[in-house]
Structure 1
Amino acid sequence: MNSTTDAAVAGKPATPSLAGARRATRLIFLVSGIGMSAWAPMVPYAKARLGLDDAQLGLALLAFGGGSMLSMPFVGWLAHRLGNRTLIVASGLLMCLALPVLAMVTNITELIGVLLYFGVVLGAVDVAMNAHAVDVERLDGGRLMSGFHGLFSVGGLTGAALTSALLAVGVPLTAAASVLAILLAVVVLWLRSDLLDDAPTADTPRKEPMRMPHALAWLLGLLCFVSFLAEGAMLDWSAVFLRDVRGISAASAGFGYAFFSAAMVVGRFSGDRFVGRYGPESAMRIGAALAAAGFLLVACVSGVVMSLVGFVLIGLGASNIVPVMFSAAGRLPNTSPAIAIATVTTLGYVGLLSGPALIGLVAHISSLPMAFAGVAGLLVLVSFSARIVK
């Protein structure tokens, strides 16, 4: 840590720096959410433009989760050695480059390549910003993680809704993606100076050895697998579900993910208070059960309105599962927060790696509603396992 951080730990005045770090952390969560969710309305366009069926699209989407999963062990090491600020800025700018390219791919090979790259840089942003959030939460002394993730959900709402709105009024897909990319890059460059400067220097090198993550990090990662699978189902398949199963136009299908993201915002901005009052175990148990009920509603009850209600329930239920797990991982003893979070998110992104393909395979064999019902069953298991976050 730098001298400002050391001063905060020692009780010396560092409020302006800490306030700036909180603001910058919120902004990078917002940017990451916008960048990732902007892809959701593009999925039906890519499917139609390239002539893909459900199984082919599912296999192509493997690259997104695969890129993140493969990069995260190295990202944890880089964040540990170079500092979270350096990694946040570099990977955030690289993320912006992917958006207009995703709108221009002309064949499945290009789609796979760009999704692989997109997954790598989003995974880097994810690990570094969550490790930075753990440091800020520790310095602040209160519960902040759900609020940080709430800004990610605001980004999810903003990115999906804004992209869908631009497409609905006739803005070309490439132009819409390019505008978002430029705006996000400007924000990343602006917030850089407020991030905690935790890079090692000649006076304070990082000599501590790389240790294996705590055993609980692996267990948390298995539960994170299911949660990421559920969120990935919303990102990659909600628009397809509304278009192909409920008959909504492609230009408006992205609003399903926007409803999900709006519910995530509500849940996460109230999450720090809820977790502080009732504890992380209750937050995780109740949330997983509510998300399971939402998936069952979407899968089993016909009608666009009921599907949107189901998306809202999924968002409310899933809103605090990941923040609770990340906060727990960042506080594990004898493990660097970046490495612990990298372990949890790596296993989580295995859910993004296998989830879209599995959902696509089940949809191809039976139906997309049946695939959603399977996700509900996995979330019930998470609810029964909530005691681990104690």
Structure 2
Amino acid sequence: MSELVGTRTPRRARWAVTVYFALTGAGLATWTARIPEIKRDLGLDDGQVTLALFSVAAGSVLAMQVAGRLADRFGSERVMGPAGVLLAVSLLVPGFAGSLPVLLAGLLAFGAGHGTVDVSMNAQALLVQRRYGRPIVSTFHAMFSVGGLLGAGAGALAAHLGIGVGTHFAVVAAVTGVLLVVARRALVESEHVRSGPQARGGRGVPGAIVFLGVLAFFCSLGEGSMADWSPLYLSDVLDSGPAVAAVGYAVFSAAMATFRFLGDRLVSRFGPVALVRGCGLIAGVGLGAALLVHQEVAAIIGFGLFGVGLSCIIPQVFNAAGSRDPSRSARDLAQVSTLGYGGLLAGPVVIGLVTQSFGLTVGLAVPAALALLVAASAGAVRPRS
């Protein structure tokens, strides 16, 4: 206990978890930012690139199922260290891969590291929040967004300066690995570690967790659709130039990151149910109204409001899932994260299918409608007595 109080204080743990969230976002963005060059260097076609993206997703989803059980049994702080090392080291493989099979193997490992860190760091975030006695989870998610922006920016700069993918990835891997190993020492110890027969029990997924996962799926579907379809809406539907078309997603991303920093204060003042309901209404009404107005400025404002609305929902969904039963917090988070990840992957596809039949305006109305459904279901994030 003296070690916990003396060196693993909640304040130090908060900074350590912040490092994990930021570097995990940066690591994922580092890979995505250099995809065009990896595609060119290996001579990949679009189908092979899709297979590479699927490898990351498959590694993440499969690892999440195992990571939840490991974190509940041994403690999230014990899982985060090895998972962070795997995340960093596996980034080297796509940087130096000389063939498609090697690339796929490396990305599968990278996805596994990302999925394991994702589940365990969210479980640790809830543990640190309990030690603080006030909401702080939204800020962690904001730092993931900031890390993603920094990783993407560094990738663009490295490409502009002609720095090779291997060199770039090696530097990021070294910095990430060192910082995550150092940060691991400040994490707090889990309170509800499962062992023996207790660790093997409870295989079923509670209905409440499934429902929270569906809400995460709806929100992530909207987030995924913005990345691919918001620029096309501005360019193809509203005939905007390339510069204006790029602004829409930038405004969405900036709004989401900014308001995640405000999320902890908002949930302290209004409570999670009112916050999720209000955010869902802002996202659904803001995007829906912009699509009806059918103008450039309105579209950009609508994308920004959609980012504002989505910003605080996922952190509260994760908070509700991880707080429902502390003895299986990580496993419940793993299920919700898996469904959320599925929404992120399915978003562009779903919008594309709707667009083929009804046009892109109707296609983007889908995430607006789903946001309104989330608002109507806000009671699901009510803290359990």
Question: Same fold by TM (over 0.5)?
Answer: yes
- Which residue of 291, 296, 304 corresponds with 1:312? 304
CA distance in 1, matches of 2:195, 2:135: 30
CA distance in 2, matches of 1:253, 1:94: 37
CA distance in 2, matches of 1:160, 1:339: 30
How far is the alpha carbon of 1:379 from its aligned partner?
2.3
- Which residue of 40, 46, 52 corresponds with 2:46? 52
Letter in 2 for 1:382: V
- Which residue of 70, 73, 81 corresponds with 1:89? 81
The within-5 A match list for 1:171-190 is 171-190=163-182
How far is the alpha carbon of 1:349 from its aligned partner?
2.2
Q: Determine if the alignment matches structure 1 residue 80 to structure 2 residue 104.
A: no
The within-5 A match list for 1:75-154 is 75-102=67-94, 113-154=105-146
Q: Verify the 8 A CA contact 2:60 2:113 in the aligned structure 1.
A: yes
- Please list the CA deviations of residues 292-344 of structure 1 after superposition, one character each: whole Å capped at 9, or x if unmatched: 456555898575x7766555333322111111011111221474211221121
**Larger deviation: 213-222 or 130-139?**
213-222
Question: Which residue is 1:223 aligned to?
Answer: 215
- Which residue of 198, 202, 210 corresponds with 1:208? 198
Q: Determine if the alignment matches structure 1 residue 41 to structure 2 residue 40.
A: no
How far is the alpha carbon of 1:156 from its aligned partner?
1.9
**Larger deviation: 289-298 or 335-344?**
289-298
CA distance in 1, matches of 2:154, 2:298: 23
Letter in 2 for 1:190: V
Q: Determine if the alignment matches structure 1 residue 340 to structure 2 residue 336.
A: no
Letter in 2 for 1:64: V
TM-score, scaled to structure 2: 0.80
How far is the alpha carbon of 1:346 from its aligned partner?
2.1
The within-5 A match list for 1:248-327 is 248=242, 259-292=251-284, 297=290, 309-327=301-319
TM-score, scaled to structure 1: 0.79
Structure 2 portions without partners, runs of 5+ = none
> Identity of counterpart residues, as a percentage?
35
Question: Which residue is 1:67 aligned to?
Answer: 59
Letter in 2 for 1:69: V
Letter in 2 for 1:342: A
Q: Verify the 8 A CA contact 1:363 1:370 in the aligned structure 2.
A: yes
Structure with higher helix content: 2
- Please list the CA deviations of residues 50-90 of structure 1 after superposition, one character each: whole Å capped at 9, or x if unmatched: 3427xx76665344333322221211111122321222122
CA distance in 1, matches of 2:14, 2:35: 33
SS in 2 for 1:75: helix
CA distance in 2, matches of 1:71, 1:148: 21
CA change 1:114–1:225 in 2 (3 A) is farther
Q: Verify the 8 A CA contact 1:299 1:373 in the aligned structure 2.
A: no
Letter in 1 for 2:158: L
How far is the alpha carbon of 1:354 from its aligned partner?
3.4
**Larger deviation: 102-111 or 37-46?**
102-111
Aligned residues: 374
Q: Verify the 8 A CA contact 1:157 1:258 in the aligned structure 2.
A: no
Q: Verify the 8 A CA contact 2:224 2:347 in the aligned structure 1.
A: yes
- Please list the CA deviations of residues 255-288 of structure 1 after superposition, one character each: whole Å capped at 9, or x if unmatched: 8766544322211111011011111122212223
Q: Verify the 8 A CA contact 2:355 2:363 in the aligned structure 1.
A: yes
- Please list the CA deviations of residues 130-159 of structure 1 after superposition, one character each: whole Å capped at 9, or x if unmatched: 111111111111111111212212212211
Structure 1 portions without partners, runs of 5+ = 6-12
SS in 1 for 2:324: coil
